[in-house]
Chains A and B, each alone.
Chain A
């Protein structure tokens, strides 16, 4: 499996990462090796197998619809890089 630096750049962009050219090239080689190893799964016939996404299956856990307030606004805002005591402040969106 080969993957080009351009493909890595595209996926990086989707992942909100911006990598310099040398890292794109390094990752392209490494990711190609890793994908090559992953392609091994193609040897197995899994047509009639149900996927298993978690060891704990069928767990739609319900709880009473009761509002809880365990933390204060100050606590929740406390780790924000920028906030004004009421809101998280971010750069302009549009």
Chain B
């Protein structure tokens, strides 16, 4: 089984359950793939080889457990999900040596389902970025062309899945941080509805925006992972107590008869790279050929989304990151004689430029005199943005558009922060509205040869509809090629 790493999670889970493949074989296949691809891709901050091997041996001794849907499946976690006994860095110097004493709930649920954690993935520091270039440790390469970025902020998770290092990864999405790297790396990435997945143990960036979700090589894989991690958790008061449907039962539909897909004119117009537009339009045409009806819809406030998002995200970041003070965990500067000086020196040494920029911006927009003009104004526009989506979603079952105006760009190409923020134009509205969305790979750009993702967006808690439509499309589009690593 030398090509085990090219299989999907769904295929591997079946092979593990029927005993064709042992957990040790699955783990070793991933560790070999990591060894072969890490020198160029650099997706992982920590590889938990010893723990994974020990766990695999113990599981093999017990034999397959049909009650555990991910029994023996190697997975990777974005390095801002806490893992008991394993370093969790947020790709920041300030947490370089932080070893949590508890697992995030999403991690607990993966482990209970039988998954084996094999590594912690690189990311933009504290999830602040769209390219993974803001990691304090190293730059991750896109497996399709390592000179290009994997997207961000869950770039390590996306690159790891695309490179075949694991069978699924968890990412987090505050403004597109699952969907963008999924699009750039040619994999499936799903951001669930705000409140669908517990965030206990997620080191927070923007608390009213963050959501954890799966990144995988197929739609069915994403459904299987979401099935495991979704659900209410008393430890996260924003997790919503609504029943988790069976995400697998809706898969396998043969047509899209009766499905109405809304195409927002603001997402399909100016500024879109022709190769992205062509690939996305071809996928929409395929959906129509399969029986879907398309209708024009309007998300008229799209132009205001970036300003709204960055005010809210930075405000929340400045508040969330005040906990890093060098007292209870994280880096402490040596030599400061007084407490306040110690706080200041620890934070100045520990945070990278983008994090500092966002903390300062966030503090500014929250300061008295500017609070109403910026933060409160943005919170009002946020409600209008949500109403825009609600209206559009009365006219259709799903909204479709590109994930990003371009395919993956070269590392270093977007040195100016505002220019980088503008890449998020099609993803951030969804986080402000709290709705579910996903990126489905729909082919390669005709100029760049890099993957293009189609974004599907749905009504709250209707991930099942999105997954069933995406699975039907995936099955009828030309199969995505694999990166030639």
Convert A4-38 into 0s and 1s, putting 1 for each residue whose CB lies closer than 8 angstroms to a CB of B.
00001001111111110001000100110111011
**A40 adjacent to B342 (CB under 8 Å):** no
What A residues does B339 contact at CB under 8 A?
Answer: 90-93
- B418 close to chain A: CB less than 8 A: yes
**A52 adjacent to B383 (CB under 8 Å):** yes
- Chain B residue at minimal CB-CB distance from A80: B328
- Chain B residue at minimal CB-CB distance from A13: B344
**B329 adjacent to A34 (CB under 8 Å):** no
What B residues does A93 contact at CB under 8 A?
Answer: 338-339
- Chain B residue at minimal CB-CB distance from A76: B101
**B367 adjacent to A14 (CB under 8 Å):** yes
- Chain B residue at minimal CB-CB distance from A31: B361
**B303 adjacent to A40 (CB under 8 Å):** yes
- A75 close to chain B: CB less than 8 A: yes
- A67 close to chain B: CB less than 8 A: no
Most buried by A among B339, B351, B460: B339
- Write the nearest CB–CB distance from B95 to chain A, whole angstroms: 9
How far, in whole Å, are A49 and B361 apart by their CA atoms in the complex? 24
How far, in whole Å, are A76 and B367 apart by their CA atoms in the complex? 33
- A79 close to chain B: CB less than 8 A: yes
**B208 adjacent to A37 (CB under 8 Å):** no
- Given A34-B310, A50-B383, A59-B237: A75 in contact with B348 (beta carbons within 8 A): no
Give residues of chain B (319-370) contacting chain A, Cβ–Cβ below 8 Å. 322, 325-332, 336-345, 347-348, 351, 353, 356-357, 359-361, 363-365, 367
What B residues does A78 contact at CB under 8 A?
Answer: 99, 101
**B328 adjacent to A53 (CB under 8 Å):** no
- A86 close to chain B: CB less than 8 A: no
Tally of B interface residues using CB under 8 Å: 73
Most buried by B among A3, A15, A30: A15
**A17 adjacent to B344 (CB under 8 Å):** yes
- Write the nearest CB–CB distance from A57 to chain B, whole angstroms: 10
What B residues does A37 contact at CB under 8 A?
Answer: 306-307, 310, 418, 421
Q: Classify the secondary structure of B's interface with A.
A: helix
How far, in whole Å, are A55 and B389 apart by their CA atoms in the complex? 13
**A53 adjacent to B208 (CB under 8 Å):** yes
**B378 adjacent to A41 (CB under 8 Å):** yes
- B443 close to chain A: CB less than 8 A: no
Convert A45-67 into 0s and 1s, putting 1 for each residue whose CB lies closer than 8 angstroms to a CB of B.
01001111111100101010000
Give residues of chain B (83-142) contacting chain A, Cβ–Cβ below 8 Å. 98-102
- Report which of A43, A52, A70, A79 forms a contact with B330, defined as CB distance below 8 A: A79
- B240 close to chain A: CB less than 8 A: yes
What A residues does B330 contact at CB under 8 A?
Answer: 79, 81
- Write the nearest CB–CB distance from B483 to chain A, whole angstroms: 34
**A55 adjacent to B344 (CB under 8 Å):** no
Give residues of chain B (404-461) contacting chain A, Cβ–Cβ below 8 Å. 416-418, 421, 433-435, 460
- Given A11-B363, A37-B306, A51-B376: A46 in contact with B384 (beta carbons within 8 A): yes
What B residues does A41 contact at CB under 8 A?
Answer: 304, 307-308, 311, 374, 377-378, 381
- B290 close to chain A: CB less than 8 A: no
- Report which of B329, B337, B356 forms a contact with A91, defined as CB distance below 8 A: B337
How far, in whole Å, are A44 and B237 apart by their CA atoms in the complex? 33
**B383 adjacent to A49 (CB under 8 Å):** yes
- Write the nearest CB–CB distance from A15 to chain B, whole angstroms: 5
What A residues does B434 contact at CB under 8 A?
Answer: 54-56
**A79 adjacent to B360 (CB under 8 Å):** no
- Chain A residue at minimal CB-CB distance from B370: A35
- B4 close to chain A: CB less than 8 A: no
Please give me the 6 A-B residue pairs with the lowest Cβ-Cβ distance, nearest first.
Answer: A55-B434, A51-B379, A81-B332, A52-B383, A79-B329, A46-B380
Q: Interface residues, chain B, CB within 8 Å of chain A? A: 98-102, 194-195, 207-208, 234, 237-238, 240, 301, 303-304, 306-308, 310-311, 318, 322, 325-332, 336-345, 347-348, 351, 353, 356-357, 359-361, 363-365, 367, 374, 376-384, 386, 416-418, 421, 433-435, 460
Q: List 15 A-B contacts (CB under 8 A).
A: A11-B367, A16-B340, A16-B343, A17-B360, A27-B360, A30-B417, A33-B416, A34-B418, A41-B381, A54-B208, A55-B194, A55-B434, A70-B102, A80-B329, A90-B339
Known pairs A30-B418, A55-B434, A75-B101. 11 more at Cβ < 8 A? A11-B367, A19-B348, A30-B416, A31-B360, A43-B304, A55-B195, A76-B328, A80-B328, A80-B329, A88-B327, A92-B339
